[in-house]
Amino acid sequence: MQQDIREKLKDFQEQNIELSANHASKFENLLKAELHSKKKKKTPFKWLSVAASIVLLVSLAIKFYPTENIEEQPIVKKDAEITLGNISPEFNTIETYYTNSIKLEISQLDLSDGNKEIVDNYLLKIAELTKEYKLLTKELNTNGVNDATIDALIGNLQLRLQLLQRLKKQLNELKNLNTNQHETQVI
């Protein structure tokens, strides 16, 4: 199947073909027409390629956007008040633990006419500690984050919880004392 091109060209005779006088201008006109017709065909669909690119970028951004990290971190605005909970995740855990424990202890208090005075006294002390906690939070905002203020805030939360636990213990002792007195009177 291979043929030598030299063999083929031996028999070739040059033919003198004459081109018409306006051959160059006809060729240019045909070339311009062909180029312009291709541009017109592409332009109506150019916006589709741009739109497809945008849709692709948005879908990739949604797919690979790290939503888990955003939910774990507390959002702190510049004008927002600094509290113990939004300094760091560890302090947030500490504050949440103590506030939830305090709320639980208050909800479990056994209130009656016999122990109303004791409960009121403890609740007044806890209210004073709560006001002090708010003052410490304001200090944290004005002076900035420092170890002494953080320790004072955590100590305040611990003291409130200890007072409530002590109150609960005293109420149980008072209740046991009343039941023992009632049993001795019945016997």
Residues 57 and 103 in one domain: no
Residues 111 and 162 in one domain: yes
Residues 49 and 117 in one domain: no
What lies within 8 Å, CB to CB, of 143 at 6+ separation is: 149
User: How many domains does the chain divide into?
Assistant: 2
Look at residue 35 and tell me if it is in a domain.
Answer: yes
Residues 60 and 112 in one domain: no
Nearest alpha-carbon partner for 110 in 41, 46, 181, 170? 170
* Of the candidate ranges 63-67, 82-86, 127-131, 140-144, the one whose mean pLDDT is the lowest: 63-67
Is the confidence at residue 69, as pLDDT, over 60?
no
Domain extent for 47: 25-65
What lies within 8 Å, CB to CB, of 107 at 6+ separation is: none
Residues 104 and 32 in one domain: no
Residues 99 and 175 in one domain: yes
Q: What is the pLDDT of residue 28?
A: 86
Residues 39 and 92 in one domain: no
Nearest alpha-carbon partner for 115 in 104, 107, 123? 123
Residues 38 and 126 in one domain: no
Residues 121 and 48 in one domain: no
Residues 138 and 95 in one domain: yes
What lies within 8 Å, CB to CB, of 157 at 6+ separation is: 94, 95, 98, 99, 102, 133
Backbone angles phi, psi at 18, to 5 degrees: -100, 135
Rounded-to-10 torsion of CA 141, 126, 90, 104: -140
Is the confidence at residue 178, as pLDDT, over 80?
no
Residues 58 and 114 in one domain: no
Residues 119 and 159 in one domain: yes
pLDDT in tens, 29-61: 888 888 776 555 555 667 777 788 888 888 777
pLDDT in tens, 121-143: 888 898 898 999 899 888 888 88
Is the confidence at residue 81, as pLDDT, over 70?
yes
Q: Is 114 helix (H, G, I), strand (E, B) or coil?
A: coil
Top-confidence residue, 187 or 13 = 13
The one-letter amino acid code at 15 reads Q
Q: Using 50, 70 and 90 to split pLDDT, how confident is the model at 24?
A: confident
Look at residue 6 and tell me if it is in a domain.
Answer: no
DSSP character at residue 88? -
